[in-house]
Chains A and B, each alone.
Chain A
Amino acid sequence: MIIRFLQRHREASVALIIVFLFAILGLVDRSYLSFDTVLLVYGNSLILFVLAIGATMVMATHGLDVSVGSIMGLAAVVAGLLMNAGWGIPASIGVALLVGLLCGLFNGALVAWLKVSAIVATLGTLGLYRGFVHLLSGGSWIEGLPEGFKALTKAGSLGLSPVAWLVLVLLIVAHLGLRYTAFGRSMFAVGDNREGARLIGIRVNEVQIVAYGLNGLLSALAGVIFASQIGFIPNTAGTGMEMRAISSSVLGGVSLLGGTGTVLGAALGAYFMTSIDSILVLLRLEAYWNDIIAGAILLVVLITDGKIREAVDRHLRYQKYRKFIDPQAAGQHADAAKAAGRTVKTVLETSEARK
Chain B
Amino acid sequence: MKLHPALKRWESVLALLLIAEILLFGAINPVFLQPATLLYATSDFIHVGITALALTLVIITGGIDLSLGSVMGLSAITLGILWVGGVDIWVAAVAALAVGTLAGVFNAVAIHLSKVNPLVITLGTGFLYGGAALVLSGLAGATGYEGISNFDPAFVNLTNLEIVGLPLPFALFVVLTIAFMALLHRTRFGRYVYLIGQNPRAAAYAGTPVFRTLVVAYALTSLMAALSGLILASYFGSARSDFGTTALMPAITAVVLGGTSIYGGSGTILGTALAALLVGYLQTGLQLVGVSSHVSSALSGGLLVIVVALRSLSEMGRVWFQHRRVLRNVAAE
Interface positions of A (Cβ within 8 A of B): 64, 110, 114-117, 119-121, 123-135, 139, 235, 240, 243, 246-247, 250, 256-257, 286, 288-296, 298-299, 302-303, 305-307, 310
Contact A139 B292 (CB under 8 A): yes
Which of A133, A246, A295, A306 lies in contact with B131, CB distance below 8 A? A295
Minimal beta-carbon separation of A240 from chain B (angstroms): 7
Residue numbers of B with Cβ under 8 A of A are 64, 66, 110, 113-117, 119-121, 123-132, 134-135, 137-138, 143, 245, 249, 252-253, 256, 262-263, 292, 294-305, 308-309, 312-313, 316
The reply to whether A303 and B131 form a contact with Cβ atoms under 8 Å apart is: no
- Can you list 7 A-B pairs, Cβ within 8 angstroms, ordered by A? A119-B252, A123-B253, A123-B301, A124-B302, A124-B303, A134-B297, A289-B131
* Distance in angstroms between the alpha carbons of A294 and B128 in the assembled complex: 7
Interface contact B308-A247, CB-CB below 8 Å: no
Which B residues are in CB contact (< 8 Å) with A257? Answer: 117
Known contacts A123-B249, A292-B135; decide if A131 and B128 are in contact (CB<8 Å).
Answer: no
Contacts of B137 in A (CB 8 A): 288
Between A and B, how many residue pairs show CB distances below 8 Å?
Answer: 160
Bound together, the chains give a CA A199 to CA B266 distance in angstroms of: 30
Contact B301 A126 (CB under 8 A): yes
A290-B295 in contact given A116-B308, A127-B249 (Cβ < 8 Å): no
Q: Do B256 and A306 have beta carbons less than 8 Å apart?
A: no
Whether the pair B245, A127 counts as a contact (CB closer than 8 A) is no
Distance of A134 Cα from B286 Cα, bound (Å): 15
- List the B side residues contacting A295 at CB < 8 Å: 124-131
> Bound complex: CA of A310 vs CA of B112, how far in Å?
13
Q: In the complex, what distance in Å separates the CA atom of A246 from the CA atom of B120?
A: 9
**Contacts A127-B300, A135-B295, A303-B116 known; A298 to B127 CB distance under 8 Å?**
yes
Known: A123-B256, A127-B300, A246-B123. Is A116-B309 also a contact (CB below 8 A)? yes
Query: A130–B292 Cα gap in the complex (Å)?
Result: 13
Q: Please measure, in the bound complex, the distance between the C-alpha atom of A296 and the C-alpha atom of B124, giving whole angstroms.
A: 7
Which one of B124, B300, B309 has the greatest number of beta carbons of chain A within 10 Å?
B124
Whether A134 contacts B295 by the Cβ 8 Å rule is yes
B251 to chain A: closest CB distance in Å? 11
- Within the complex, the shortest CB–CB distance from A254 to chain B, in Å, comes to 10
Q: Determine the residue in chain A with the shortest Cβ distance to B296.
A: A131
Which single residue of chain B is at the shortest CB-CB distance from A300?
B124
Task: List, in ascending order, chain B residues with CB within 8 A of A139's CB.
Answer: 292, 294
Beyond A131-B302, A299-B110, A303-B114, list 8 extra A-B contacts (CB 8 Å). Answer: A129-B298, A131-B299, A139-B292, A243-B66, A288-B137, A292-B131, A298-B123, A299-B125
Q: Which 10 A-B pairs have the closest CB atoms?
A: A131-B298, A127-B301, A292-B131, A134-B294, A295-B127, A291-B131, A295-B128, A124-B305, A306-B114, A288-B138
